Structure 1
Amino acid sequence: MTSSVPRITIIGSALSGNKGAAAMLESAVQTLGERLGEVQFTLLSMYPEEDRAQNPYDNVDVVAASPRQLGVTINTLALAYRVLPFMRGLIRRRSAAVSALVESAVLLDQGGITFTDGREKFLLYNVASILPALNVGTPVFKCAQAVGPFNNPINRAASRLFLPKMRTIVTRGRITHEFAEGLGLSNLYAGADYAFSLEMSGTERDEIARHFDMSFFDAGDVVGVCPSVVLQKKVDARGGDYSAQMVQFIEHLQAEGKRVLLLPHSVRTGTDKTHNNDLPLCRDIHARLSQSNNVLFVDRELTSQQLRYLIGECDLFVASRFHAMVSSLAMAVPTLVIGWSHKYKEVLEMFDLEEWAFGHDQLNPDYLAERFAQLDASRIEVQAKLDTHLPAVKARSLSQADLIAEIVRDGS
């Protein structure tokens, strides 16, 4: 490290697009600033222009790292840095990403789910995200995330090769921890998702009120509904119509006298591309409603804190985006989850609420309405469990900040 101010590089998260990624990133900036004082961050960004436009932090530098740049340019230069010592000065001058990694006390990998069966198409990116740091000698800390299972031979081989090289892997639930132990890993810490540590500024209500009528929540019994284009692709691939199912569910809620907050938790402004972007899906759902009374549609990109505040205003929540679920749990809102991975269930287990998640393969309008009615009838019991377990879950989330700060101090 060339400066008295420590530097930390982050990959796998963002400020734009997926607001769960933003929540993890901002949690790291908040908690590590509290522990280390002055600290400089470099975000290796998949969407550098969008992230720069939305960056409110003076101590966060955004460096371009699209999948192609990361996989080819950054990885090649990091390898050259390792094997060609006489080229190191030139490489650092030419590559902001490699220079940041060399200067950093640690690389934080904030990929939400990595090295897992069924997601082999992302395996090269999982490796490419951590390999440059390994090549320049910077320790890698995998912030709380899901890994495993490791039954696929390709994923198992890659995991056995690279995961033992991590300084620390924070598992964010029992199932992930058991998968990792089954692989023989010992560099594990049982934590909780970093986004549970996100703090709000207290200005969120006034900020949101510039765009939406917050009196919507005054009448009570508001149900938040957070669709997901990831789930849409899985449901539609088996011949279903996810948008139609969500329309039917919202109209069912309206008929029951509920008010509905329709909330995309992953939004990319200025594009109709659906990667990390649920807004086109939500627009379609909203347009197909037979009536829009008693529906508040969030039709724009909000910050992770603003979204968390809105979710906290709901009385019940139905989530398909993972970090929308995290925010609803963090705000102690009884939640029904429609998921596609063990990552949902293992977080709900921390609250003794795993019964309130089901897979996309079970999704149909009747079953969704039935499970929601059961949640509605059980809201007092569910609320009590949230209130009981939330302090311990937040403490598990915050503990990874202490581990990261220790690495930084040891390397300074």
Structure 2
Amino acid sequence: MTSPNIAIIGSALSGNKGASAMLEAAVQTLSERLDNPTFTLLSMYPEEDAALNPYPNLNIVAANAKQLGVTINSLALAYRVLPFLRGVLRSRSEAIRALSEADILLDQGGITFTDGREKFLLYNIASILPAINVKTPVFKCAQAVGPFRNPVNRWASRTFLPKVRTLVTRGRITHEYAEGLGLSNIVAGADYAFSLELAGTEATDVSNQIDLTFFDEDVVGVCPSVVLQKKVDARGGDYVGQMVAFIEHLRSEGKRVMLIPHSVRTGTEKTHNNDLPLCRAIHSRLRLGSDLLFVDRELTSQQLRFLIGQCSLFVASRFHAMVSSLAMAVPTLVIGWSHKYREVLEMFELEDWAFGHDKLTLDYLTERFSELSAQREAVKAKLDSRLPSVKARSVMQADLIADVVRTSRGVNA
């Protein structure tokens, strides 16, 4: 019998390192549970992902938005309705071959089918429809969905979400939205990135680029987000100015600060999945000094998690930067824009340490940070107490995926 084949979409090795963390967690956990599996990533950035790919059993297939939405979906529909062409379609299209030969498709989109993000709705559908058409089971890894009040999103969600084999909800709020939609294929879980294990070489790897003695004293990590910047600036705010003022406030109080982007695409100034240009803009307005560390390059998801774990306190706007800080039990203040932040913090009984971008002012940010700093030990105790159960909820989905693969191959668990 051939090795298990697992197709993956919605994640990446380049760009958003949260997507990388989910992808690598899947490769790690499923390689432990299945006999010599192979993985195929349907990639938005095939050249960038291929350049960063350290896994010999992970293949990269091009699937940018146009290729996925037009070519791959059209070929998958032809595969479904014209069975006499299936051999030709498999031989001519890497994506169709990967999907048709896969035992399962993992959809690792972090937030899908949700009100307010209707511009991404076609991509959400296009990501899973080809697998549905070639009759490959779809497993939506832990993610946020809903709410479903918008008629267009509600129709799309009611039409396509029941067609997936399993939808793992990433927290209480998402689970309640999914239940309210009448879905019966849902399982309560936790973000797959909580399952990511460090290799143990991260300190050596990053010490060639970063002086780790910077962390000999307490360090506050600050991780901005271009997504949040757009939302703040759209309502007349000045996100860059607020971050600059906040960091200088921390330094004036004698704190060391690490400015770190968690989503980086090397070699481009495009801001989609790329916070480095934003962080450079913030850094350009900061005074230089030995109390400031700017991580101005692309690191792996494990290296980022290692560095975040060296911090004493963390301020996050990128979702998976928050996941990494929680996974490393670092007390964290979160500035977010959807329910996806709060529902994860709820698992640690720490939901009060998140607030929306609509509340972001320098005074409110410094006030909330001061409160977190004062309650640091109590917050750390909650993280240490709840982290094992959250990690167990995360890795549980690897067992579910392995069961689906074994079932599709007629192999007993």
Q: Normalising by the residue count of structure 2, what TM-score does the alignment of the two structures yield?
A: 0.99
Q: 1:204 aligns with which of 194, 202, 205?
A: 202
Indicate yes or no: 2:300 matched with 1:309.
Answer: no
Which residue does 1:276 correspond to in 2?
273
Instruction: Supply the distance in 2 between the matched residues of 1:37 and 1:133 (Cα, whole angstroms).
Output: 23
Q: 2:218 aligns with which of 213, 217, 221?
A: 221
- Pairing 1:90-105 to 2, within 5 Å after superposition: 90-105=88-103
Instruction: Supply the distance in 2 between the matched residues of 1:226 and 1:371 (Cα, whole angstroms).
Output: 16
Cα contact 2:3–2:35 (8 A) shared by 1 = no
Which residue does 2:28 correspond to in 1?
30
Instruction: Supply the distance in 1 between the matched residues of 2:123 and 2:93 (Cα, whole angstroms).
Output: 19
Q: Deviations along 1:203-242, whole A, 9 cap, x unmatched?
A: 0001001101111001x21000000000000001011110
Query: Which segments of 5 or more consecutive residues in structure 2 lack a partner in the other structure?
Result: none
Instruction: Supply the distance in 2 between the matched residues of 1:160 and 1:311 (Cα, whole angstroms).
Output: 39
Q: 2:139 aligns with which of 113, 131, 141?
A: 141
Instruction: Supply the distance in 1 between the matched residues of 2:406 and 2:287 (Cα, whole angstroms).
Output: 58
Q: How far did residue 292 of structure 1 move?
A: 3.6
Which residue does 1:361 correspond to in 2?
358
Q: What residue identity is the alignment partner of 1:245? A: Q
- Pairing 1:6-405 to 2, within 5 Å after superposition: 6-218=4-216, 220-405=217-402
3-state SS, counterpart of residue 42 of structure 2: strand
Q: How far did residue 293 of structure 1 move?
A: 3.4
Instruction: Supply the distance in 2 between the matched residues of 1:246 and 1:372 (Cα, whole angstroms).
Output: 13
Q: How far did residue 411 of structure 1 move?
A: 1.1
Instruction: Supply the distance in 1 between the matched residues of 2:241 and 2:206 (Cα, whole angstroms).
Output: 29
Instruction: Supply the distance in 2 between the matched residues of 1:376 and 1:134 (Cα, whole angstroms).
Output: 49
Cα contact 2:4–2:35 (8 A) shared by 1 = no
Instruction: Supply the distance in 1 between the matched residues of 2:370 and 2:125 (Cα, whole angstroms).
Output: 43
Q: Deviations along 1:240-271, whole A, 9 cap, x unmatched?
A: 11001000000000001100010000000000
Q: How far did residue 372 of structure 1 move?
A: 0.1
Q: What residue identity is the alignment partner of 1:353? A: L
Q: What residue identity is the alignment partner of 1:108? A: L
Instruction: Supply the distance in 2 between the matched residues of 1:298 and 1:77 (Cα, whole angstroms).
Output: 43
Cα contact 2:258–2:292 (8 A) shared by 1 = yes
Instruction: Supply the distance in 1 between the matched residues of 2:134 and 2:402 (Cα, whole angstroms).
Output: 20
Instruction: Supply the distance in 2 between the matched residues of 1:355 and 1:95 (Cα, whole angstroms).
Output: 49
Cα contact 2:348–2:387 (8 A) shared by 1 = yes
Q: Deviations along 1:18-52, whole A, 9 cap, x unmatched?
A: 00000000000000000003000000000000000
Q: How many residues align structurally?
A: 409
Q: Deviations along 1:383-408, whole A, 9 cap, x unmatched?
A: 01001100000000000000000001
Instruction: Supply the distance in 2 between the matched residues of 1:328 and 1:355 (Cα, whole angstroms).
Output: 16
Q: Normalising by the residue count of structure 1, what TM-score does the alignment of the two structures yield?
A: 0.99
Cα contact 2:8–2:40 (8 A) shared by 1 = yes
Cα contact 2:194–2:390 (8 A) shared by 1 = yes
Q: Deviations along 1:175-217, whole A, 9 cap, x unmatched?
A: 0000000000010000000000000100000100110111100
| RMSD across aligned positions (CA) | 0.6
Cα contact 1:286–1:292 (8 A) shared by 2 = no
3-state SS, counterpart of residue 330 of structure 2: coil
Q: What residue identity is the alignment partner of 1:79? A: L
Instruction: Supply the distance in 1 between the matched residues of 2:331 and 2:171 (Cα, whole angstroms).
Output: 19
3-state SS, counterpart of residue 216 of structure 1: helix
Q: What residue identity is the alignment partner of 1:234? A: K
Identity of aligned residues (%): 75
Instruction: Supply the distance in 1 between the matched residues of 2:165 and 2:83 (Cα, whole angstroms).
Output: 24
3-state SS, counterpart of residue 297 of structure 2: coil
Instruction: Supply the distance in 1 between the matched residues of 2:199 and 2:400 (Cα, whole angstroms).
Output: 25
Instruction: Supply the distance in 2 between the matched residues of 1:85 and 1:49 (Cα, whole angstroms).
Output: 32
3-state SS, counterpart of residue 254 of structure 2: coil
3-state SS, counterpart of residue 85 of structure 2: helix
Q: How far did residue 276 of structure 1 move?
A: 0.2
3-state SS, counterpart of residue 347 of structure 1: helix
Q: How far did residue 291 of structure 1 move?
A: 3.5
